[in-house]
Amino acid sequence: MELSITRPDDWHLHLRDGKLLEAVIPHSAHHFGRAIIMPNLKPPITTTAAAMAYRESILKALPINSGFTPLMTLYLTDSTTPAEIKLAKESGVIYAVKLYPAGATTNSQDGVTDLFGKCMPVIEEMVKHNMPLLVHGEVTSPEVDIFDREKVFIETVLSPLVLKFPQLKVVMEHVTTMDAVKFVESCAEGRIAATVTPQHLVLNRNSLFQGGLQPHNYCLPVLKRETHRQAIVSAVTSGSKRFFLGTDSAPHDRLKKECPCGCAGIYNAPVALAVYAKVFEEAGALDKLEAFTSFNGPDFYGLPRNTSKITLRKTPWKVPESFSYASGHVVPMFAGEMLDWLPSPV
């Protein structure tokens, strides 16, 4: 079996920097035409100047003759100014602003501590320029159970924000619960959308513990119950335009995953398209795969769809155990396992 689809884009990607950037970017550039690049480096990408410099680093690290385009973002802080949003829009290379609640995930310590108290002028400027807000949708209050953080975020932050700014474009990133699915489906189409990762489509929280602690299945937001996974699969395979591909591929060195306090993040760039194809095939919805991978994202962002194609072949292949780079090794999702779909450029 063979399936030809418009080249997909990745609307949520971590590329890191330095030698790790050089090691991982070929995997994304091989499969995707564009990607929204996450700004949570050390230090974070909080200014237009920093985003443009990071973009140059990415372009230099690309394989020769690659057509991959990085779409940059700004990291929202309590001190971000409306003037910075205006600069970002005028740059022509920054496409969104990322909200990390302080302490929610990797390198989020500089994130927002009081969205409604400190960021309203910035949000107003984003509405003015039609600049999307990308949200890591979890509260960080220690009294909230980690499995409930997304639900509580919707109730206490996202719902009030959407009511206050009905014209704000929002992407709820890496949704993990039926609560998020219901919220996105209840909002105006074209204003609120969601990205969905491979891991949240095929893994549930049992995957963290079966056969012992599984650090390479640990990500944030954390994997949830099977009922939530099923709700997300139903949403993305339904043909809804509100959901689109965002891998949240997040590479860490193996030693930073397999240690007493392991980092959150799953490196799925090498396998993402194969996993998405598996999900849609099992749902009997391969005819809806192309819209999810290649149409819904650019349509939401107001960008043209890609014109090139890729082919997905029903050919079993083994995922490498790891990928080496100058400072160590990165372990991919499903390392050493067999997958059924093999993507390749046309």
What is the CB-side half-sphere exposure of residue 307 using CA atoms within 13 A?
A: 2
CA 225 – CA 148 distance, rounded (Å): 11
Which one of 174, 200, 224, 252 is the catalytic residue? 174
Which one of 136, 151, 200, 224 is the catalytic residue? 136
Which one of 12, 27, 151, 228 is the catalytic residue? 12
Which one of 179, 248, 252, 257 is the catalytic residue? 248
Contact 202, 251 (CB under 8 A): no
Contact 157, 118 (CB under 8 A): no
Q: What is the CA radius of gyration of the chain?
A: 19
Which one of 9, 14, 27, 257 is the catalytic residue? 14
Phi then psi for residue 122, to 5 deg, are -70, -45
- The rounded Cα 214 to chain-centroid distance in angstroms is 21
Q: Which two tokens stand for residue 10?
A: 């990745």
List beta partners, residue 112. Answer: 101
Catalytic-residue membership of 248? yes
Catalytic-residue membership of 174? yes
Catalytic-residue membership of 17? no
The count of other CB atoms within 10 Å of the CB of residue 59 is 13
Catalytic-residue membership of 30? no
Catalytic-residue membership of 329? no
Catalytic-residue membership of 12? yes
Using alpha carbons, list the distances in angstroms from residue 151 to 7, 97, 156, 178, 244. 33, 22, 9, 9, 20
Residues designated catalytic: 12, 14, 98, 136, 174, 248
